Structure 1
Amino acid sequence: MSDSHSPRSSSGPEKLTQSESRKATGLIVSASRFVRAASRHSGRERSTIVLRVLSNLTLSGPMRIGDLASAEHITQPTMTGVLKRLENEGLVSRQSDPYDGRAQLMEITVLGKKVLNDFRRKATQKIQPAIANLTEEEREVLWRAAAIFDSVANDLDLSKS
């Protein structure tokens, strides 16, 4: 199997066939089922939105509340409530935006990173037996698919507006 997938068309977005569109829907359903299954472990005490906010802050660094709300497709008042709870728990901290004194940036704390890393470790432990049951070839296909999936997710992140 090749180490890279086909280059993307530079002439703009292409449309999927009906069959491919159904497969894309199946991919979304399967990915959601996988995440839910991996997330079901003892000790899970955090909501999905909390984990996504902590992940966003880990990946992107300090972010404005509005940008976090936009990234999660929720209203700014809803995100403000989520962040207040996280701040009260010591998982995020607030700082002034050095470029705009009126704005606040939210940043993940050391404790927030620990909570996120603990969740990821437990989720990884949950999926390891199922992945270990795959053949070596199936695991290689899975790793390659994960890299492609990540690339597609990056494209979607770049195209959001």
Structure 2
Amino acid sequence: MSSGDRTDLAERLAFVVGSLNRRLRPPADALTHIAVSALATIDRLGAVRPGELARIEGIAAPGTTRLVADLEARGLVARTADPGDGRSHLVQLTSAGVVAVAEARRARAAGVAALLADVPEEDVLPLEQAVTALESALLRTTPDPARTR
């Protein structure tokens, strides 16, 4: 595949991902995509410093401060003292946070499943292969959190 073809594919994929995100947008009173993403990151990594969370999520420190404060007010995360640095704290999921991540994942999966219900069977295998390739690409490009601690 030529670089021009890959560029075209990248543009189409970006459009489809953006459209999926908009279609799967949570109701106004639900957690935002960034809140769910942050909760999922904390779920995957365990307790993290707010600065590390900001770096991984690609948001500025003030935004992370507001996000963590909102999640804490909702009872989804708790702050604890960082045993390695008394000046800092760690953010970790509460049991309600674990439930919220699971519910958000189920809701998004249900939305995607509804879209896939109309996809012809012969198109499902190429979709599965594409998802597998994208998962591999993400694993290769995800920063190692152990290097930032």
TM-score, with length taken from structure 1: 0.79
Pairing partner for 1:67 from 42, 45, 52: 52
Tell me if structure 2 keeps the 8 A contact 1:44–1:119: no
Q: Which amino acid aligns with 1:88?
A: A
Aligned residue number for residue 105 of structure 2: 120
Tell me if structure 2 keeps the 8 A contact 1:68–1:79: yes
Supply the distance in 1 between the matched residues of 2:106 and 2:39 (Cα, whole angstroms): 15
Structure 2 spans left out of the alignment, 5+ residues: none
Q: Which amino acid aligns with 1:54?
A: L
Following TM superposition, by how much is the alpha carbon of 1:60 offset from its aligned partner in structure 2, in angstroms? 1.3
Following TM superposition, by how much is the alpha carbon of 1:43 offset from its aligned partner in structure 2, in angstroms? 7.6
TM-score, with length taken from structure 2: 0.84
Structure 1 spans left out of the alignment, 5+ residues: 1-15
Aligned residue number for residue 121 of structure 2: 136
Q: Secondary structure at the match of 1:95?
A: strand
Supply the distance in 2 between the matched residues of 1:38 and 1:115 (Cα, whole angstroms): 16
Supply the distance in 2 between the matched residues of 1:154 and 1:29 (Cα, whole angstroms): 22
Aligned residue number for residue 12 of structure 1: none
Q: Which moves more between the two structures, 89-98 or 26-35?
A: 26-35
Q: Secondary structure at the match of 2:86?
A: strand
CA offsets 1:72-93 (integer angstroms, 9 cap, x no match): 2221121011101111111001
Q: Secondary structure at the match of 1:93?
A: strand
Following TM superposition, by how much is the alpha carbon of 1:17 offset from its aligned partner in structure 2, in angstroms? 1.1
Aligned residue number for residue 30 of structure 1: 16
Higher-helix-fraction structure = 2
Question: How many pairs are equivalent?
Answer: 144
Q: Which moves more between the two structures, 78-87 or 119-128?
A: 119-128
Aligned residue number for residue 136 of structure 2: 151
Following TM superposition, by how much is the alpha carbon of 1:102 offset from its aligned partner in structure 2, in angstroms? 1.9
Q: Which amino acid aligns with 2:78?
A: S
**Structure 1 consecutive aligned stretches of length 4 or more whose deviation exceeds 4 Å:** none
Q: Secondary structure at the match of 1:63?
A: coil
Aligned residue number for residue 94 of structure 2: 109
The percentage of aligned residue pairs carrying the same residue is 25
Aligned residue number for residue 85 of structure 1: 70
RMSD: 2.2
The 1:129/1:73 distance shift into structure 2, 3 A limit, reads closer
Following TM superposition, by how much is the alpha carbon of 1:22 offset from its aligned partner in structure 2, in angstroms? 2.2
